[in-house]
Structure 1
Amino acid sequence: MRGIYFFLLTAILLGGLVQQGLYFDENFYPYHIILHLLFIIFLIRIWLYKENVFKPYLIFMLIPITYALPLFFEPASAYLAIQGVIRASSTVAFFIMAVYVFHKDSLYHRYVPYMMHGIGLILSLHMLLFDLGILTEGHYIMMGRYAGLVEYANTFGVLLAALFFYGLIQFERTQNKWLMTFHLSVLPMYLFMVFKSQSRGVLLLSSLIFIVVIGLSKTKQQLKLLLVSSLALVTALMLYLAIEQVNVFRMIVLVACLSLLFSRAICECLDRLPKEITFNRLVIPLGMVTLIGFSLVNILNEGLLYDILLGWFELDMSKLTQTRTFTERLAFLTDGFYIFGDAPFIGHGARAWALMYQSVRSYDYQSLEVHNGYLDILIETGIIGFSVIMLLIGLILRQVYRSTDTYITLMPVFLIMGHSFMDFNLSFGYVWFFLIIMTANQIDLTVNLITIKRKTE
């Protein structure tokens, strides 16, 4: 039974990727039908076979209920509110079934790295072939930025950045030589794609996440992660320079060769690392903070690093240093809270911002998204829905932490969730599926989702 669910959930995960990341409701319709049919069968199964370990996860069905509440209090659009309920229900169904299939003790848990890197390779190779002119249909480069199959540069960038951290962290944790090489070989390509997305928010947040990962690691682990990341960065920059200079065939050969050479070089360097490291574990994180701070100051003051990025890599530096986007996001935030204030407890229903922002906007702008996933949830479901959703997400993150005793493996998830404070990644159904797989495979079912303390006599 799990094998069938594994195949179908994997097919849904890969299928959603080529449907513009399931941003539009009409792209989601076939997935709604499949997921709800699968979920009904799943519910019958756990009832018949008394698989009580999965029953606590049914509490997540509160989420579609919170999206349904505005229907009783004049939502912004009854039709779109219903679409939101169905979308939330499908997402919750996918989550519960993903826990069933991919939890730590499951046979299919071991396939998750291949699924994750399969997604990364599809996103990366599709974008590479499109830029080289082999694929011609579609609009995947927008204003010079890689936007990928999701057709939005910032979300494309954050997905590839999350996959980079996933590969980096899993490489350090695995003992399987083949899997270690696989994790390593894709890192330069992911980083190259992040650079080509030109997402300032992703680059800045990725730097902070990297510092956190380094800070949470032991000294020898820090050296390994720093070595891998540094060589991946150099390789990615080589690809960045080469794509404008060489023909299609040479670029494809170069990508393959550099990936293999990178993996081999890392393995050789790791074998030469000393077995015992004596310096303090705070040295590298503090050095990283200093380096990143210096780099930011240098770019803002148009120093040497600014000239290198402008001259060698031909980056549009006005996009990196402009403040217009930040000003716009502040306006969205202010206007969003005005909309929230009209129905603070139960919200206005799904897609409320798109329907209502023009009546409250502080100046003449056009934006169908509030560019803040959490404010979007607050507007759509109110305080009640937002509290329920955040509480349930918190319960899952706590369960994962208790399953692994470290937050490091959650860093790719935190990267996407953190970036969603400044963009609308969570409006893509695919992003939720992606986060679910990354989280579900870290769950240990022997760790309770909800801990109930009983009084003893």
Structure 2
Amino acid sequence: MSNQVYGKKAAASRNGNKLSVANWLLMFGIVILMIWAPFQAGLFNGLLLQFDRPIFWSVIIGSVLLLIWLAAYYKKIKLEDQRDWTAVFVILLPITYLISLISAASHYFAMNMLFIQCLYAIMFIIGLYLMQNKQANRFVETTTITAAYIIVMFGLLNWLGQGRTASAIVGWFSGTVYEGQYHQAVWIDANGPRLASVFQYPNTYAAFLMAFFFVAVFAITRSSKWYVQAIHAFMLVPMALSILLTLSRGGLVFLPIVFIVLLLFLKPAKQLLWILYCLIAGIGTLLIAKPVTNLGQQFHQGLINDPAKGWGYVLIVSVIVAALAWVIQRFLAPKLEQRLGGLSERKLSNLWLPVSSVVAVVILAAVFLGTNAKHILPGNIGERLENINFQQHSVLERLTFYKDAVKVMKDYPVIGAGGGAWASLYEKYQNNPYLSRQAHSFVMQYLVEVGILGFVVFLAFILFIFYKYIKSYIRSSEERRESYFIYFILVFSLLIHSMMDFNMSYVYIGILVFLGLAGMSAAMDNKPVKRLALKASTARGLYGAVTVVASLILIFTSIRYIQANDEVSRGRELMSTSTNFQEIKAPLERALQKRANQPDAVLNLHVLMKAGYEQTQDESFYNESYKLLTNALKKEPFNKSIYNQLMALHQLKGESEQVYAILRDNADKYAWDMNWYDQLISQSYELGYQALGQGAIAEKEKYFKTGLDAYAHVSAGVEHLKTLPPGQFQGGEFYITPQMTLSAGKMQFMMNEPEQAAIILKNGLTEDLNDTTMRDIAVWYLAALQKSGASDQPVYDQLIQIAPAEKDTIDQLAKLQF
């Protein structure tokens, strides 16, 4: 039996044109996720407490849908062909995250990511079977595109000053609306306002817009209905304009790359139409880009608010583009198909226009980057284009992230460091004190989380689907190609941009990608897998059992995690409104019962216990708090907040040795935390000085060596930062504080090395000796010089003039023997 015949029979046997009630429930569930999920800040990846609740609600919805899917497709599960086994293959992705729990840097983050990966697998399985039905496929496609268009219009409403109106519409179901405004729908940074819409991050929004811009272009050329063509054409200018308003250089760089690759899949006639629509949309966008940009900037700078004018520009040009699209599809498109139909049959005929497009893109880039043509664009957009090069800070910073990710991978090579590992570990491996809880590359972040094993599994999964889809695309009829090409556009566009950004950290983007992969898989040529074939009853039993057990575990665990999240929020609220200790304590304890060692619950309950100990000096409060923190650190060994609270607890009882041990033993985890090293140096000095007073010379040497090593680390770090490329930002502050200088100088002095002490102290000395710490540095500096037989008369004269009594102090210090 040929593969083609087998595929047709399989399709006929599985997918009637009629949809069952279960299928409609599945489609309704997808609608809910497509509309609800993006307005939960795109469903970020659970690195913050605020994202936990919507993520686990999504998992619950997905798990319920999986049970409905099992009921609908149970009799059709055979595990006989490649498509069936692809649905099994996808389960390996969450399994690799489950394995990575063994070495997880954060159990909390890793569990969140495990559940997210389960959600992706669920969406893939449901989509794979559902979208083999033509009607269901069209429904899912329409829902996905409609949700995207809503997001685009929501973004423009926020840009043009109608954010409160837009937020009021979604506020009843969105947890991201604060005080009547969707949080960070418009970013404000050094470049000015940047449109971010529901994602709160302009670069991810640019990737999203790029994908759906090409989806809209394709939808115009595919549809035979004038009103459908008009709707998609109408949205071209809002999407192209929004891409410019994100100020995303990555979006502008990847846009032509994705466009050229997609052209390779089209016949010459369709290629010409794509180019024509992109030109029309581009020209229309450029005509209104400056006034619409200026109106948005003026509103967000508090100057004027004239949304009607802005919408006038957008709507008029969009209507014109829609009308032109109708004319082109009505009159020009048929003629192109007729005249170029023969050309389509020739080999490599679809290469000419993509190759020409490469040349055109290069010429346009040279014109915009090298001439005054960039002034056609709004000023801030033109400046961003002008700064596209490999030496500007965002490129250099990303390269640094990737190099640091490789360092992490060397320590966690095979199974990775668990979901969310980058956020937990990056401070230990970073090259400079940047602040980024994302590696800005899906590939690098995936490697960090699940290691080589997990990445190979993921890569094999992706490449298999792409290979099978492209092979099927080449062999399929025009109608079948067009039925699933939208999914290829989405997956390719989002994944290619994710190579240099963290788009896949948004669960909504991940859902889009895995639904897209399911659509591509539904289109693949299907072959029986004889070696792996199982009896139908065995296949159903195994798959059904795994599905039911997994779904129930996900549902009940997600419910507990949501309850834990709610209890933490309740406890926080009570801490600011109630004075009843037991009332505040109860929800926090319930949170920990439902999710052990949940970091936010641990920290809040600790604060409560610590306050109880401070007020009553009851040891039970101290012991309970100590146990709480130390148990949490077993699961969260890189959580700096927990370490800081543990040190604060020890300080209440004057347990300086324990504080010193925490600072010393974990210093390598926070290599660029200036405050951590400031504390370590000061604590080393204090304990060493106490040991000296007790005559414990060996102890003194131990403490002082730790402190001086820490000072050397800071000094080396300061020198290293001077070697950063000119275009790269340093990140957070990192310098030698006066207190570090004083403590290190004293330790070196008391180690009977006055020459070295003088060098340290002089390096931290400034001309202003009115500051108490700086005056102390001067005293010890002059004493170190005197002890080593040298002097610094200008500093001495300045100090004695301000504080004459310090003369005796210097003499006394110089005579001390240690």
Q: TM-score, normalised by structure 1?
A: 0.90
2:45–2:113 Cα contact (<8 Å) kept:
no
Correspondence 1:108-127 to 2 at 5 A? 108-127=136-155
- Structure 2 residue aligned with 1:357: 426
Return the offset for 1:6: 0.4
Return the offset for 1:391: 1.2
Of the candidates 201, 209, 216, which is equivalent to residue 152 of structure 1? 201
Provide closer, same or farther for how the CA distance between residues 400 and 446 of structure 1 changes in structure 2, counting only shifts above 3 A: closer
Q: Deviations over 1:106-165 (max 9, x none)?
A: 422122342233122221111111112122412211132111101010110110110011
Return the offset for 1:179: 2.5
Distance 2:317 2:366 in 1: 32
Correspondence 1:314-333 to 2 at 5 A? 315-316=383-384, 320=388, 323-333=392-402
| 1:308 and 2:376 are equivalent in the alignment | yes
| 1:199 and 2:268 are equivalent in the alignment | no
In structure 2, give the amino acid aligned to 1:141: V
Distance 1:135 1:312 in 2: 22
Distance 2:411 2:380 in 1: 51
Alignment root-mean-square deviation, CA: 2.8
User: Greater relative contact order (Cα 8 A, min sep 6): structure 1 or 2?
Assistant: 1
Return the offset for 1:299: 4.4
Distance 2:33 2:160 in 1: 28
Return the offset for 1:248: 1.7
Of the candidates 86, 95, 103, which is equivalent to residue 65 of structure 1? 95
Distance 1:123 1:226 in 2: 25
Return the offset for 1:251: 3.0
Return the offset for 1:35: 1.5
How many residues are treated as equivalent by the alignment?
451
1:120–1:190 Cα contact (<8 Å) kept:
no
Return the offset for 1:323: 1.2
2:226–2:326 Cα contact (<8 Å) kept:
no
Q: Deviations over 1:355-396 (max 9, x none)?
A: 111111112211111111011111111111111111112222
- Structure 1 residue aligned with 2:70: 43
Distance 1:46 1:105 in 2: 12
Of the candidates 20, 32, 41, which is equivalent to residue 59 of structure 2? 32
- Structure 2 residue aligned with 1:83: 112
Provide closer, same or farther for how the CA distance between residues 339 and 450 of structure 1 changes in structure 2, counting only shifts above 3 A: farther
Distance 2:261 2:279 in 1: 16
Distance 2:246 2:383 in 1: 11
SS of residue matched to 2:339 = coil
Mean CA deviation greater in 184-193 or 366-375: 184-193
Return the offset for 1:314: 6.2
SS of residue matched to 1:444 = helix
Return the offset for 1:55: 4.5
2:27–2:139 Cα contact (<8 Å) kept:
no
1:6–1:108 Cα contact (<8 Å) kept:
yes
Provide closer, same or farther for how the CA distance between residues 98 and 239 of structure 1 changes in structure 2, counting only shifts above 3 A: farther
Q: Deviations over 1:152-182 (max 9, x none)?
A: 1011011011001111123223333333333
1:186–1:259 Cα contact (<8 Å) kept:
yes
Distance 1:324 1:446 in 2: 42
Q: Deviations over 1:303-336 (max 9, x none)?
A: 2223433659665556545611111111111110
Q: Deviations over 1:394-453 (max 9, x none)?
A: 222234334433696523321211111100011111101112333433443783377557
2:186–2:196 Cα contact (<8 Å) kept:
yes
Q: Which runs of 5+ in 2 are unaligned?
A: 1-21, 47-51, 165-180, 296-304, 344-348, 475-480, 533-818
Return the offset for 1:38: 2.5
Of the candidates 253, 268, 272, which is equivalent to residue 327 of structure 2? 268
Of the candidates 411, 414, 423, which is equivalent to residue 489 of structure 2? 411
In structure 2, give the amino acid aligned to 1:260: V
- Structure 1 residue aligned with 2:238: 189
1:46–1:52 Cα contact (<8 Å) kept:
no
Return the offset for 1:235: 1.6
| 1:259 and 2:315 are equivalent in the alignment | no
Correspondence 1:229-240 to 2 at 5 A? 229-240=278-289
Return the offset for 1:338: 0.6
Percent identity reads 23
Correspondence 1:418-457 to 2 at 5 A? 418-444=496-522, 447-448=525-526, 451=529
In structure 2, give the amino acid aligned to 1:377: Y
- Structure 1 residue aligned with 2:306: 247
Distance 2:374 2:76 in 1: 62
Q: Deviations over 1:183-233 (max 9, x none)?
A: 222112111111111111111111112122334433322221111111011
| 1:52 and 2:78 are equivalent in the alignment | yes
SS of residue matched to 1:145 = strand
Distance 2:470 2:405 in 1: 33
Distance 1:317 1:150 in 2: 23
Of the candidates 1, 14, 21, which is equivalent to residue 35 of structure 2? 14
Q: TM-score, normalised by structure 2?
A: 0.52
Return the offset for 1:24: 4.0
Distance 2:449 2:517 in 1: 25
- Structure 2 residue aligned with 1:338: 407
Larger radius of gyration: 2
- Structure 1 residue aligned with 2:129: 100
- Structure 1 residue aligned with 2:172: none
